[in-house]
Protein backbone atom coordinates (compact mmCIF):
# COMPACT_ATOMS: atom_id res chain seq x y z
CA UNK A 1 0.00 0.00 0.00
CA UNK A 2 2.52 2.51 -1.24
CA UNK A 3 0.22 5.53 -1.08
CA UNK A 4 -2.63 3.79 0.74
CA UNK A 5 -4.82 4.02 -2.35
CA UNK A 6 -5.96 0.46 -1.68
CA UNK A 7 -7.50 1.36 1.69
CA UNK A 8 -10.74 2.46 -0.01
CA UNK A 9 -10.76 -0.61 -2.26
CA UNK A 10 -12.40 -3.50 -0.42
CA UNK A 11 -11.21 -6.13 -2.92
CA UNK A 12 -7.60 -4.99 -2.66
CA UNK A 13 -7.67 -4.91 1.15
CA UNK A 14 -9.12 -8.43 1.17
CA UNK A 15 -6.42 -9.64 -1.25
CA UNK A 16 -3.68 -7.83 0.68
CA UNK A 17 -4.44 -9.52 3.99
CA UNK A 18 -5.26 -12.83 2.32
CA UNK A 19 -1.69 -12.89 0.98
CA UNK A 20 -0.36 -12.12 4.47
CA UNK A 21 -2.47 -14.94 5.93
CA UNK A 22 -1.34 -17.27 3.15
CA UNK A 23 2.31 -16.56 3.98
CA UNK A 24 1.60 -17.10 7.69
CA UNK A 25 0.01 -20.50 7.10
CA UNK A 26 2.84 -21.45 4.75
CA UNK A 27 5.46 -20.58 7.37
CA UNK A 28 3.63 -22.52 10.10
CA UNK A 29 3.28 -25.49 7.78
CA UNK A 30 6.98 -25.52 6.95
CA UNK A 31 8.04 -25.35 10.59
CA UNK A 32 5.39 -27.42 12.34
CA UNK A 33 4.62 -30.33 10.02
CA UNK A 34 6.74 -33.39 9.39
CA UNK A 35 4.72 -34.83 6.55
CA UNK A 36 4.59 -33.75 2.95
CA UNK A 37 1.34 -32.51 1.47
CA UNK A 38 2.62 -32.45 -2.11
CA UNK A 39 4.18 -35.83 -2.84
CA UNK A 40 4.72 -39.19 -1.17
CA UNK A 41 8.07 -39.72 -2.86
CA UNK A 42 9.75 -36.95 -0.88
CA UNK A 43 8.99 -37.67 2.76
CA UNK A 44 11.10 -34.93 4.29
CA UNK A 45 13.00 -32.27 2.31
CA UNK A 46 16.19 -30.78 3.78
CA UNK A 47 15.42 -29.23 7.17
CA UNK A 48 17.64 -26.20 6.55
CA UNK A 49 15.78 -25.47 3.32
CA UNK A 50 12.47 -25.58 5.19
CA UNK A 51 13.76 -23.14 7.80
CA UNK A 52 15.02 -20.64 5.24
CA UNK A 53 11.69 -20.86 3.40
CA UNK A 54 9.79 -20.32 6.66
CA UNK A 55 11.96 -17.31 7.48
CA UNK A 56 11.17 -15.86 4.08
CA UNK A 57 7.44 -16.35 4.72
CA UNK A 58 7.81 -14.48 8.01
CA UNK A 59 9.32 -11.51 6.20
CA UNK A 60 6.49 -11.56 3.65
CA UNK A 61 4.05 -11.25 6.55
CA UNK A 62 6.18 -8.54 8.12
CA UNK A 63 6.27 -6.59 4.87
CA UNK A 64 2.48 -6.57 4.72
CA UNK A 65 2.29 -5.38 8.32
CA UNK A 66 4.72 -2.48 8.13
CA UNK A 67 3.36 -1.22 4.80
CA UNK A 68 -0.12 -1.14 6.35
CA UNK A 69 0.93 1.09 9.26
CA UNK A 70 -0.64 4.58 8.86
CA UNK A 71 1.63 7.33 7.62
CA UNK A 72 1.14 9.31 10.84
CA UNK A 73 2.81 6.54 12.85
CA UNK A 74 6.00 7.02 10.81
CA UNK A 75 6.10 10.81 11.31
CA UNK A 76 5.53 11.44 7.62
CA UNK A 77 5.05 9.72 4.28
CA UNK A 78 8.68 10.08 3.17
CA UNK A 79 10.00 8.42 6.31
CA UNK A 80 7.36 5.70 6.05
CA UNK A 81 8.21 4.92 2.43
CA UNK A 82 11.97 4.82 2.99
CA UNK A 83 11.64 2.74 6.18
CA UNK A 84 9.35 0.18 4.52
CA UNK A 85 11.45 -0.08 1.37
CA UNK A 86 14.59 -0.48 3.48
CA UNK A 87 12.99 -3.21 5.59
CA UNK A 88 11.88 -5.04 2.45
CA UNK A 89 15.33 -4.89 0.90
CA UNK A 90 17.10 -5.95 4.08
CA UNK A 91 14.85 -8.95 4.76
CA UNK A 92 13.16 -10.30 1.64
CA UNK A 93 16.17 -10.08 -0.66
CA UNK A 94 18.88 -11.76 1.49
CA UNK A 95 16.50 -14.51 2.65
CA UNK A 96 15.53 -15.28 -0.92
CA UNK A 97 19.24 -15.44 -1.81
CA UNK A 98 19.85 -17.90 1.03
CA UNK A 99 16.91 -20.08 -0.01
CA UNK A 100 18.03 -20.17 -3.63
CA UNK A 101 21.55 -21.20 -2.61
CA UNK A 102 20.19 -23.99 -0.41
CA UNK A 103 18.34 -25.45 -3.40
CA UNK A 104 21.63 -26.52 -4.96
CA UNK A 105 22.88 -29.78 -3.48
CA UNK A 106 26.20 -30.33 -5.26
CA UNK A 107 27.97 -28.66 -2.34
CA UNK A 108 27.15 -26.52 0.67
CA UNK A 109 27.41 -22.94 -0.51
CA UNK A 110 28.05 -20.18 1.99
CA UNK A 111 25.18 -17.85 2.77
CA UNK A 112 26.88 -15.49 5.18
CA UNK A 113 28.85 -13.48 2.53
CA UNK A 114 25.56 -12.36 0.98
CA UNK A 115 24.15 -11.49 4.38
CA UNK A 116 27.26 -9.49 5.25
CA UNK A 117 27.05 -7.75 1.86
CA UNK A 118 23.79 -6.17 3.05
CA UNK A 119 25.45 -4.43 6.01
CA UNK A 120 26.54 -1.37 3.97
CA UNK A 121 23.01 -1.11 2.64
CA UNK A 122 21.67 -1.17 6.19
CA UNK A 123 23.86 1.85 6.97
CA UNK A 124 22.62 3.62 3.83
CA UNK A 125 19.06 2.73 4.81
CA UNK A 126 19.42 4.41 8.20
CA UNK A 127 20.81 7.54 6.54
CA UNK A 128 18.05 7.47 3.93
CA UNK A 129 15.30 7.16 6.54
CA UNK A 130 16.52 10.03 8.69
CA UNK A 131 17.97 12.35 6.05
CA UNK A 132 16.46 11.17 2.78
CA UNK A 133 19.62 11.92 0.78
CA UNK A 134 20.93 8.37 0.41
CA UNK A 135 17.88 6.66 -1.02
CA UNK A 136 19.19 6.64 -4.59
CA UNK A 137 22.55 5.26 -3.50
CA UNK A 138 20.83 2.59 -1.39
CA UNK A 139 18.66 1.36 -4.26
CA UNK A 140 21.64 1.47 -6.65
CA UNK A 141 23.75 -0.60 -4.24
CA UNK A 142 20.96 -3.15 -3.91
CA UNK A 143 20.57 -3.44 -7.68
CA UNK A 144 24.32 -3.99 -8.10
CA UNK A 145 24.21 -6.63 -5.37
CA UNK A 146 21.33 -8.42 -7.09
CA UNK A 147 23.11 -8.34 -10.46
CA UNK A 148 26.27 -9.81 -8.88
CA UNK A 149 24.23 -12.50 -7.13
CA UNK A 150 22.40 -13.41 -10.35
CA UNK A 151 25.72 -13.74 -12.19
CA UNK A 152 27.16 -15.94 -9.43
CA UNK A 153 23.98 -17.99 -9.23
CA UNK A 154 23.90 -18.64 -12.96
CA UNK A 155 27.49 -19.89 -12.72
CA UNK A 156 26.52 -22.07 -9.74
CA UNK A 157 23.59 -23.49 -11.70
CA UNK A 158 25.91 -24.46 -14.55
CA UNK A 159 28.14 -26.33 -12.11
CA UNK A 160 25.09 -27.91 -10.48
CA UNK A 161 23.78 -29.08 -13.84
CA UNK A 162 27.09 -30.77 -14.64
CA UNK A 163 27.04 -32.43 -11.21
CA UNK A 164 23.53 -33.75 -11.87
CA UNK A 165 24.49 -35.13 -15.27
CA UNK A 166 27.53 -36.89 -13.82
CA UNK A 167 25.78 -38.43 -10.82
CA UNK A 168 22.05 -38.52 -11.59
CA UNK A 169 21.75 -38.65 -15.36
CA UNK A 170 18.72 -40.94 -15.20
CA UNK A 171 16.61 -38.48 -13.18
CA UNK A 172 14.70 -35.37 -14.18
CA UNK A 173 15.75 -32.23 -12.34
CA UNK A 174 13.60 -29.28 -13.23
CA UNK A 175 14.72 -27.27 -10.20
CA UNK A 176 17.60 -25.80 -12.24
CA UNK A 177 15.47 -23.73 -14.59
CA UNK A 178 12.76 -23.24 -11.96
CA UNK A 179 15.28 -21.47 -9.74
CA UNK A 180 15.90 -18.93 -12.48
CA UNK A 181 12.16 -18.48 -13.04
CA UNK A 182 11.67 -17.82 -9.34
CA UNK A 183 14.52 -15.33 -9.33
CA UNK A 184 12.98 -13.48 -12.27
CA UNK A 185 9.62 -13.35 -10.47
CA UNK A 186 11.19 -12.08 -7.28
CA UNK A 187 13.12 -9.36 -9.12
CA UNK A 188 9.83 -8.37 -10.76
CA UNK A 189 8.18 -7.99 -7.34
CA UNK A 190 11.21 -6.03 -6.16
CA UNK A 191 10.89 -3.70 -9.13
CA UNK A 192 7.18 -3.23 -8.49
CA UNK A 193 7.73 -2.31 -4.86
CA UNK A 194 10.65 0.06 -5.46
CA UNK A 195 9.17 1.86 -8.48
CA UNK A 196 5.54 1.91 -7.38
CA UNK A 197 4.38 5.52 -7.40
CA UNK A 198 1.01 4.67 -5.91
CA UNK A 199 -0.68 2.95 -8.84
CA UNK A 200 -3.39 0.61 -7.57
CA UNK A 201 -2.83 -1.62 -10.60
CA UNK A 202 0.79 -2.12 -9.58
CA UNK A 203 -0.25 -2.85 -6.03
CA UNK A 204 -2.57 -5.56 -7.33
CA UNK A 205 0.24 -6.90 -9.51
CA UNK A 206 2.65 -7.07 -6.59
CA UNK A 207 0.14 -9.10 -4.55
CA UNK A 208 -0.50 -11.61 -7.33
CA UNK A 209 3.22 -12.00 -7.89
CA UNK A 210 3.65 -12.53 -4.16
CA UNK A 211 1.06 -15.32 -4.25
CA UNK A 212 2.95 -16.98 -7.08
CA UNK A 213 6.23 -16.79 -5.17
CA UNK A 214 4.69 -18.15 -1.95
CA UNK A 215 3.19 -21.12 -3.80
CA UNK A 216 6.40 -21.80 -5.68
CA UNK A 217 8.66 -21.57 -2.61
CA UNK A 218 6.52 -24.01 -0.60
CA UNK A 219 6.08 -26.39 -3.53
CA UNK A 220 9.76 -26.36 -4.51
CA UNK A 221 10.85 -26.81 -0.90
CA UNK A 222 8.56 -29.77 -0.33
CA UNK A 223 9.23 -31.53 -3.64
CA UNK A 224 13.01 -31.13 -3.64
CA UNK A 225 14.41 -34.63 -3.67
CA UNK A 226 17.43 -34.99 -1.42
CA UNK A 227 20.32 -36.17 -3.60
CA UNK A 228 23.34 -37.99 -2.17
CA UNK A 229 26.26 -39.36 -4.15
CA UNK A 230 27.97 -42.64 -3.27
CA UNK A 231 30.99 -40.80 -1.93
CA UNK A 232 28.83 -38.76 0.41
CA UNK A 233 27.13 -41.94 1.65
CA UNK A 234 30.52 -43.46 2.49
CA UNK A 235 31.56 -40.30 4.35
CA UNK A 236 28.33 -40.33 6.36
CA UNK A 237 28.84 -44.00 7.27
CA UNK A 238 32.42 -43.31 8.35
CA UNK A 239 31.28 -40.39 10.49
CA UNK A 240 28.59 -42.50 12.13
CA UNK A 241 31.08 -45.35 12.82
CA UNK A 242 33.57 -42.95 14.34
CA UNK A 243 30.87 -41.55 16.61
CA UNK A 244 30.05 -45.05 17.79
Per-residue model confidence (pLDDT) at position 149: 92
The dihedral built from the CA positions of residue 181, 184, 190 and 194, taken in this order, carries a sign that is negative
Which of the two residues, 86 and 44, has the higher pLDDT score? 86
Which pLDDT score is estimated for 7? 67
* Residue 181, CA distances (Å) to 16, 108, 139, 185, 217 in order: 24, 22, 23, 6, 11
Q: What is the pLDDT of residue 242?
A: 39
d(CA 181, CA 217): 11
H-state helical runs in the chain: 10-32, 47-68, 77-103, 112-116, 119-131, 135-167, 175-195, 200-223, 230-243
Residue of higher predicted confidence among 176 and 97: 97
List, in order, residues 6 or more apart from 58 with CB less than 8 Å away: 23, 27
Non-local (6+) Cβ contacts of 237 within 8 A are: none
pLDDT tens, residue by residue, 38-81: 776 766 667 888 999 999 999 999 999 998 887 777 777 777 77
Count of Cβ atoms closer than 10 Å to residue 189 Cβ: 21
How many other CB atoms are found less than 10 A from the CB of residue 170? 4
Lowest mean pLDDT segment, chosen from 34-48, 83-97, 111-125: 34-48
Check residue 113 and give its pLDDT. Answer: 92
* pLDDT score of 241 more than 50: no
> How do residues 140-168 score in pLDDT, each as one tens digit?
888 899 889 989 998 998 888 888 888 87
| Predicted structure pTM score | 0.83
pLDDT band, very low/low/confident/very high, at 98 (cuts 50, 70, 90): very high
For all residues of the chain together, what is the average pLDDT? 79
Q: How many CA atoms lie within 13 A of 119 on its CB side?
A: 6
Residue 133: CB atoms within 10 A of its CB come to 9
- For residue 23, give the nearest of 49, 62, 51, 66 by alpha carbon: 62
Per-residue model confidence (pLDDT) at position 237: 39
Contact indicator for 112, 102 with CB cutoff of 8 Å: no
How many whole angstroms separate alpha carbon 54 and alpha carbon 25? 10
Q: What is the pLDDT of residues 184-231, one digit of tens each?
A: 777 777 776 666 666 778 788 888 888 988 998 998 888 887 777 654
Q: Count Cβ atoms below 10 Å from residue 94 Cβ, excluding itself.
A: 22
Residues 6+ apart with CB under 8 A from 225: 41, 42, 171
pLDDT band (50, 70, 90) for residue 122: confident
**pLDDT value of residue 17:** 93
Per-residue pLDDT at 25: 96
Give CA–CA dist 228/221, Å, rounded. Answer: 17
Amino acid sequence: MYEHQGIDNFLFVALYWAVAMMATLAGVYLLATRGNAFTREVKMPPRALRRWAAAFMATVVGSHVWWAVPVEAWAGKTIRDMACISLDLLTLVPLMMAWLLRLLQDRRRRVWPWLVAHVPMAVLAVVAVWQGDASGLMVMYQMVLIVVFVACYVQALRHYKRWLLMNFADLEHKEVWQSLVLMAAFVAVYAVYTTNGGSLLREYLSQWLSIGIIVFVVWRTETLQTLTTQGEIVEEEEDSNSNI
